Structure 1
Amino acid sequence: RKSGFLYPTIGNTSRSGYEISTPYYLNLAPNYDATLDPRIYSERGAMLAGEFRYLTPGSRGQLNVEYVPNDHGESDGLADTQGDSRYLVKFSDRTLLWQGWQFVGSYNHASDSSYLYDYGDALSHAAVYTLGSNAAIVGGGKWWNASFGGTIYQNVNPFVTDRGLPYRQLPYAKFGMDVPLSRWLEFGMDTSAVAFRKTGFVEGQREDIYPYLAADFGTSAWFVRPRLAYRYTAYQLGSDYQDYGYRGPLGNGAITPFDQKSPTRSLPVVSLDSGLVFDRSTTLFGSGYTQTLEPRLYYLYVPYRNQNNLPLFDTNVMSFDYWQLFSTNQFSGADRQMDANNLTAALTTRLLDDSGVERVSASIGQIHYFSPQKVLATDWVRSAYVAQLDVQLSDRWRLNSAYQWSPNTRLTDMAAVQLQRRLRTDGIFNFSYRYRRGLLEQYSASVVYPVSERWRLVGSWTYSVKDRQSVDALAGVEYDSCCVSLRLVGRSYVNQSYYGFGPVPKGGSLDRRDNAVLFEVVFKGLGSTGGQIDPLLRRDILGYQ
């Protein structure tokens, strides 16, 4: 490695205009280096960016800084930044403290909520609404893990206030263990203690203790897995807790003020998972396979507890999918535990080739409720049918799909299809369809097409049926040799940062299209001069490398 100028990066975005950067690499020592990156934005002025990386026997980390002494671009949203100095700081570190313990930390901060909207990598990143910073001491052994730390958040959506931020966790402590008591019996525990802070909302501490005893009986042809758990959750709310209240399931409905400073919840969680595995030899298209048939029954019992007097610090309803058929809780976080008296019936079949590779897997399942779910506020007798199908009949073709149909509404709740075709040695074609009732319906296609040994065309396209327009389109070209890679990519997309919020950005359109173009040079062994295109292509083109 040698110090010196790298090739410049040239680009253009709707928010910042033309961009030119001239990075200079500093090879300071074998275990640390730096890059200075002065930039000029035609619509906003000058920026000085820098990166510093270090690696020692006990730690490694990276510091990135961007500084704009005088921004003369237009402002959108709630922050007026014209004429201000602006900056972005990102720092991460991982340091070994002693055997089994290490410090893990990150600090991310922007000068204002509009910074990423104005200067963010329009090519490589989707809308970012928060910046999180965390510091923790983490450790673990053969049967246990623990962490102690704190997490804070900064709002970087210029069209909303800080009310939408997650709670700060200052501090938190977590401990988990899984101890085998015998060949078939295991004892475990998941515990946490967190202090939640958020201005204008109810604050407090929460302790969640969740021990369990689990057994695993079976052979390759059958299994029975009983599990007995007990969950105890206790709160200590702030002195002004009566100024706040419960708004129904996850924030909806009329307000009911909290009437306990130290509410608790305790309940057992009992489950029994069982299944059989049948197999036989079969042939398909002249090839031999092993076909399995795997029926599965999963029973779950959790008694109802009224939880209206418990705040919602970090809890949301999780998206329903196939694995939720076998979950003890459809809520993330510890503030809500669903009640249950239900039985899941599922069936899976697989095709395995002679080398043991799974070529086809098809599953379908449904939950039968013996009593209404009060915490989730549903009185359904049955859940939606959930099915998934994965097919890989050759190394060049792959199909993944999922489908949910509700007998309660007689409507499709969710559908997803992903088809991939490998082209030549390094080409890819992807097609996908995504549907979730009432939320989205989108078609997507992406391609990496080898024109020659060194040249490739890349592209992706996403169309929203709901919006009746293309919401994201990308096209570019790549050149790759033994020593250098060149990439030129353009992107046109609908910026959705402000959907549903106010005020309306300048121009008065809630679906304003932003555009970005970037040219990038990558020296093999030195790294990218811009670092923006590769993450974009990996995100938008499944299988890109």
Structure 2
Amino acid sequence: MHHPRNKASSARFALTPVALVVASLLQPVAAQEPSAEPSPRLRATPQLREDIPSDVRPQLPTFVEGQRIQGRTELETIVEGDAELRRGDTIIRARRLEYHQADDLARATGDVRINKAGNIFEGPLLELEVEAFQGFFNEPRYRFLRNDAYGEASRVDFIDEDRAVIRNATYTTCQRQPGPSWMPDWILRADSIAIDQASETGVAKGAVLSFMGLPILPVPSLSFPLGDKRKSGVLPPTIGLDNRSGLEVTLPYYWNIAPNRDATLYPTLMSRRGIDMGAEFRYLEPSYNGEWRANFLPNDKLRDRDRWGYSIQHYQTSLQLPLLSSTSLYANLNRVSDDDYWRDFSRNSASLTQRLLSNDAGLSWGISDVSFSFRTLKWQTLQDPASIIVPPYDRSPQLTARQTRANLWGGLETYWEADTTRFSSDPSLTSQPNARRNYVYGQVSRPWQAPGWFVIPKAQLHARNYDFDAPTAAGQTRASVVVPTFSLDSGLVLERQTNLFGTAFLQTLEPRAFYVYTPFRDQNRLPNYDSGLTDFNFATIYIENPFIGHDRIADNNLLTLGATTRLLDPTTGAEAAKFAVAQRLRFKDQLVTLPGTPAVSERLSDLLFGASVNFTPEWGGEGVVQFNPKTRRSVRSTVGVRYSPGPFRVVSAAYRLQRGYSEQVDIGWQWPLNDLWEDRRGPSSGAGGSCQGRWYSVGRLNVSLRERRLVEGLLGLEYDAGCWIGRVVVERFQTGSSTSNKRILFQLEFNGFSRLGANALQSLKQNIPRYQYLREQVSTPSRFSNYD
């Protein structure tokens, strides 16, 4: 190629892939996200990337541009004045750019700037052996696209195209402010950072994390991932205070076994108890996934015994078993060492901090259009002498078969199921014998449906028998019962255009009538293993049997009448408001009841009133009232309202009354305190802005009006400084009629780097309705968002 010498006009050339090529540069430093909420995501398939494939990169053309270009063929090329080299996702700009072909050496001087896939590097001097990719960059400044982080170093040494070493490096996400004395609120300094692109890891030596000018986390050696890969290593410690366990310090270790498997070890030092060894293992495969968690505390100082607990969840589909189809398997196992575990270890997973722990496993499969399931369920009941629980029955084993068919013989629909179950528990607590129960249930219906109306007649038959281990209170060792049921469900859907408050709506009127008849079959002397009374609400008032389970089929001769009206947006169909009312009319007494409850003789049931209103995105409310027309008082009421005018602003309140039992008020909120003294219309009204600082109040209070006490409470403050977030949260939750657990959680979140302290975010998300993380990056920024 011939290059004109000393040509003053600007020029632009496309060079061969060998000439002046910069194959790769330093990738962004993306620190491991320790104790992240939610947990790091397992991947079953490779993630799509915007990076240029390595086999395509050598074939890319290179473009050179500048005010003057001169050189000698096969010796050197020199570009001066606004020099620019562009190749693929890499752009180099400098005042002067030289390339010596004999040494394969590229040299850029004067305001050197590199844009590598949106990541910026600037400095005075770059020297690079292109083919070997060996060289250095003096006094570079860098800014990374992924976390909007930046830093500077005395030198970057490129060892090869995969490895580099940054000398005297810094890293922060605090945005630079005007003024010569400004310093970032937090900054990571390291003597050196070694980069290895092949393994996508980085190692910082002599690292110190400083906050507000004070070193808070000196780390002799810190390993972190490059890009978005998870990285094995020690995570920052978490610290909390608990009124039972004292000071709690957890030092987690994360093990990235594979893209679809990982494990976390989290030993916890509790000042009053000892060292709790905890571990979690997760896996994700195309046909199965699961999560295993376990804790072991040897010789608890407060209880003077070993404490342990484990939780195992496993779900699997597409098992390859002969002659079977649609086969799946699940297991949900939870067990702890003693009855006090649920009140002592509130920080552990929710499944291990309950008084009823299920150990449930099942296998399901299909043969033609019949589905089968085999299940075994055993309960661990954590008893409290002050509040004894009657344990539920174990089901070991349980075998069930089901079949559903539609459009048979002129539109008939059929469903049947058969089940055999072995029930076992402690007879001294249940006051009835263990037994094996078999039942067969079938139904046939013929729906007639059209726009604006529906009619569905249905016939059902329920037959069951028992084989008791010991005689019942009535002296029976065996028993059987057959119960038929007939029902008729019907309704209309009427519509009209209307206008309310100056807004057009589509209003519906949906009257509904539901009749059910079940003759009396004496079942009150039979034991009850799995039946209970359904909640009285709009979902259950239109069903044939008011009991769940299969030990009680109520005798009914009743008619349920109800009506619903909705206000719909005529354009989108969104529901702006809904109002409903329903009531049962009973024609004869219901004699089949649960043990210890009287017959139902009221001819008119309580009235149900329900409403939900969402006229504006900011306001929303809903409520259900169960009203007794005889006493003219509500039996149960639930009313809730929500106000959310924008991101990070939500207040919700709920009132719940169950007359004679409980009356509670539940309030939750997340709100910026700066709104009290700032103009909300200003640019600081949302999180994620500049580092000027915003305070947020968060909390939830559940108060018992009947007992005049706080049942559960959470109060906290969050401070968003733009590049870091501070949180302090105080928790209180009930563990008994007169006992409670209290915790204080502190957390510092350095945006784009790490979190230090207790896991406060988990508590906020679980307890505050519609709580939003102040920082939550949904997707990785595209390299084209910072494209030159």
Q: Which runs of 5+ in 2 are unaligned?
A: 1-229, 594-598, 674-685, 689-693, 773-788
2:456 equivalent to 1:225: yes
Please state how far the C-alpha of 1:216 moved relative to its aligned partner. 1.3
TM superposition shift of 1:479: 6.0
Q: Is the alpha carbon distance of 1:131 and 1:20 closer, same or farther for their aligned partners in structure 2, counting shifts above 3 Å?
A: same
CA contact (8 A) 2:557 2:587 kept: yes
CA distance in 2, matches of 1:524, 1:305: 67
What residue in structure 2 maps to residue 537 of structure 1?
764
Q: What residue number does 1:85 align with?
A: 306
The whole-number CA distance in structure 2 between the counterparts of 1:279 and 1:434 is 33
Q: Which amino acid aligns with 1:266?
A: V
Residue 95 of structure 1 and its aligned partner are, at CA, apart by 2.5
Change (3 A) 1:142 1:536: farther
Alignment of 1:422-501 (within 5 A): 422-450=644-672, 452-454=686-688, 456-478=696-718, 487-496=727-736, 499=737
Describe how 1:330-349 pairs up with structure 2 within 5 A.
Answer: 330-349=546-565
Among candidates 432, 442, 447, match of residue 211 of structure 1: 442
Match for residue 381 of structure 1 among 600, 603, 613:
603
**Partners of 2:642 and 2:650 within 8 A in 1:** yes
Correspondence for 1:406: 628
What is the DSSP-based 3-state SS (H/G/I as helix, E as strand, rest coil) of the residue aligned with 1:117? helix
Give the alignment of 1:4-403 within 5 angstroms: 4-73=233-302, 82-96=303-317, 97-98=319-320, 99-121=325-347, 128-139=354-365, 145-159=371-385, 164-182=390-408, 184-200=411-427, 201-238=432-469, 240=470, 242=471, 245=472, 257-354=473-570, 355-376=572-593, 377-403=599-625
Q: Which residue of 2 aligns with 1:507?
A: none
CA contact (8 A) 1:62 1:91 kept: yes
TM-score with structure 2 length normalisation?
0.61
Cα offsets for 1:53-75 (capped at 9, x unmatched): 122333222211111111011xx
Task: Quote the Cα distance in structure 2 between the aligned partners of 1:526 and 1:216.
Answer: 60
Identity percentage of aligned residues: 30
Structure 1 position 235, deviation (Å): 0.9
Runs of 5+ unmatched residues, structure 1: 74-81, 246-256, 500-510
SS class of match (1:323): coil
What SS is found at the alignment partner of 1:132?
A: strand
With the length of structure 1 as denominator, give the TM-score of the two structures: 0.87
The amino acid across from 1:132 in the alignment is: S
Instruction: Give per-residue Cα distances to partners, 1:118-160, cap 9 Å, x unaligned.
Output: 1123897896211111111023599654321201111224436
Question: How far 1:259 moved relative to its partner?
Answer: 2.3
C-alpha separation between the residues in 2 aligned to 1:134 and 1:235?
23
Offset of residue 39 of structure 1: 0.6
How much has 1:194 moved relative to structure 2? 0.9
- The 1:10–1:531 alpha-carbon spacing in structure 2 relative to 1, beyond 3 Å, is closer
C-alpha contact 2:336 2:352 (8 A) present in aligned 1: no
Residue identity in the other structure for 1:103: L
For residue 582 of structure 2, what is the amino acid of its counterpart? G
Displacement after TM superposition at 1:487 (Å): 4.5
* TM superposition shift of 1:367: 0.3
Instruction: Kindly indicate whether the alpha-carbon contact (under 8 Å) linking 2:240 and 2:758 is maintained by their aligned counterparts in 1.
Output: no
**Whole-Å separation in 2 of the counterparts to 1:348 and 1:142:** 41
Tell which deviates more after alignment, 144-153 or 31-40: 144-153
SS state of the match for residue 343, structure 2? Answer: helix
Is the alpha carbon distance of 1:267 and 1:317 closer, same or farther for their aligned partners in structure 2, counting shifts above 3 Å?
A: same
Provide Cα deviations, 1:477-536, integer angstroms capped at 9, x if missing partner: 34679998764321123333xx4xxxxxxxxxxx33431122357799999999964554
Query: Mean Cα displacement is larger for which, 516-525 or 386-395?
Result: 516-525
C-alpha change, 1:69 and 1:338, in structure 2 (3 Å) is same
Change (3 A) 1:394 1:305: same
**2:225 matched to 1:3?**
no
2:583, 2:378 → 1: CA distance?
A: 39
Report the AA paired with residue 337 of structure 2.
S
| Deviating more after overlay: 91-100 vs 128-137 | 91-100
Aligned length: 509
Task: Give the CA deviation at 1:286.
Answer: 1.3
Q: C-alpha distance in 2, partners of 1:475/1:109?
A: 31
Q: Say what the alpha-carbon RMSD is for the aligned residues.
A: 2.8
| 1:108 CA drift (Å) | 1.2
Q: Could you list the per-position Cα deviations for residues 344-370 of structure 1 after superposition, in whole angstroms to 9, with x for gaps in the alignment?
A: 110111111122111111010110000
Q: Structure 1 residues 461 and 111 mapped into 2: Cα distance closer, same or farther (>3 Å)?
A: same
Q: For 2:420 and 2:699, how far apart are their aligned partners in 1? A: 47
- The Cα offsets for residues 288-334 of structure 1, whole Å up to 9 and x where unpaired, read as 11111111110010111111232111122122112222111111211
Partner residue, 2:783: none
Cα 1:526/1:25, change in 2 over 3 Å: farther
What SS does the aligned partner of 2:539 have? helix
Amino acid at match of 1:321: N
Q: Could you say if the C-alpha distance between residues 69 and 529 of structure 1 is closer, same or farther in structure 2, counting changes exceeding 3 Å?
A: farther
Q: Which amino acid aligns with 1:490?
A: V
C-alpha distance in 2 between matches for 1:523 and 1:204? 59
Does the 8 Å CA contact 1:423/1:449 hold for their aligned counterparts? no
Deviates more, 1:53-62 or 1:266-275: 53-62
Which piece of structure 1 moves more, 359-368 or 88-97? 88-97
| Structure 1 counterpart SS, 2:342 | helix
Displacement of 1:409 in angstroms is: 3.9
- Paired residue secondary structure (2:510): strand
Q: Closer, same or farther in 2 for the Cα pair 1:175/1:536, shift >3 Å?
A: farther
